[in-house]
Structure 1
C-alpha cells in the first residue's frame, strides 16, 4: 500500500472511492509484483482531470506505460462500467435515485491526437466501432455524448456516437441502458428535439415542448393535425440538471476535449468521471 501520509492530493481518489473500486479490479495470481492499484488509478484520474498525455504523468504514479496499459485493460474488461452500475444500485436501494430522468447530448471536439486513428481499415478490436465514434459536424471532427442523469445531476447512462448523429436516434438505446430489471421504465425529460416526439423512441412518457413550426403545421392540417401533445412546464423546468451534469463532466479536461484514439478508451474515461461524480 502506498503511504500517502494521511493527505489526499488534488485529483486523487478518496478512501471511500477506493473501497468501492477495490473488489472490482482484476488481479493476476502470478507474475512480478504489481504497482499499487490506488496509485495507478490515481494516475488515470489525474490524466483525465488535467488532459495531459500519458507520457507526461508525474513520476509519483509510476511508469506511464503501466498506467496506460492498465487503463486500456480496464476499458476492455469493463471495470469502471461495473463500478458505476454498483454505485447506482446502492443509491437505488437507498431510495436516492429520482426516476424522472433527464436525457440530452453534447458535442465534444476531437483533438488531432484522437483524429490520427487510421479510421479506414486497421486491426479490428472487439466492441470498437469502425468509425471510433468520430464524425464530421460543423465543429469539425467531433464525438457526441448522449447522457441520461437523475435529478441530482448524476450520470445514469452514457452512449457515444459520431458528432453528426441526432438525439432521436439514441433516445431508445440510452433509456434501455438505465432501466433496472426490478423497476419500471423511467420517465425521460428530453430536449426540444422534433424527432424525439414524432418517432416512438421508447415506451415511456415524455415532456418535450412543441416548436412553433410544429404548431403551425398542426393548425394548417386542421382536424387531421390532431391534438397538441401534453406538456408539463413544471417538469420541464427541471431539465436544467442535465446541463449542470454536462458542466461537471466537462470540468475534466480529458472529457471536454477528446484525446483518446478509440471510442472504448474515451467512453471508459467518461464512465470513470461519472463514477467520481
Structure 2
C-alpha cells in the first residue's frame, strides 16, 4: 500500500513515521455525525486526506466551518457541512437524504456523535434519561436506516459505530451514558446480521480515554494523568487521530471480511 506521513505514539506529527493510504477510499462518499470537533473532526480530516468526499453534521457551526476551511486549505477535498441536531430524527434523516441526493448514495457511515456528560444515579430524571438516549443511542439506528437503501443500490457499504470503553472498565459517574454505549455493540451485531446479505459491513470502534480538547479542558487533571499511566499498557496518550486510523481501515476494502466486531483503541486499558 502507498504510505502517508502520520501520527507518532503520542499523537504528534511524526516525520519519521509512515501511515497507510487506502486507495479504495479515494472518491468514496462518507457521512459522519458529530464531525466538527474532537474525534469526529479527526475522522473527517482523515477521510478527506484519503481523497474521500465527506459530508458531516454537527451543532457546533463555527468549529465545523473552520474545519472545512482548514481541510480545503490543505489541498484535500473540502467536506460538506450541515448544521443538525441529531436528537431530531426527522431532521437527521432529511439532511442525510438531501446530501445523498446532491452527492450520491453514501458508501460509508460513521456514527460518531455523542455526549459523555457526567451525572450521579440519584439525580437522573426520565427527561435526562430520554435526552441521553436521544443523543447517544437513538440517532445511531436511524442514521443506519437512512443509508441502507443507498448502500444496497451500490452493492455494499461500511457502517462504523463509535462505542466507549467506559462500560468495559466499569466506570462510574455517568451510568446512563455507559448504558447507551453498551447498547452500541448490540446494534452493531444485530445490523451486521441483517445487512450482511447486501455486503454491508457493520463494526464498532471503541475508543478509550482520548485526549480531545473537551477531555483535556474538563476532566484530565493530574490524577487523571496518573490513572492513564497506571491503566494503559502503552504509556503514550490516545489521540483522536489514533481512533480515526481504525475507522479508515474498517471503511476500506482492506477490511472486506470484517463485520459484527468491536475494535478497541485504548492503549491496552480495557
TM-score (norm 2): 0.28
Determine which structure has more spread, i.e. the larger CA radius of gyration.
1
> Which of the pair has the greater relative contact order for Cα pairs under 8 Å at 6+ separation?
1
* More strand by percentage: 2
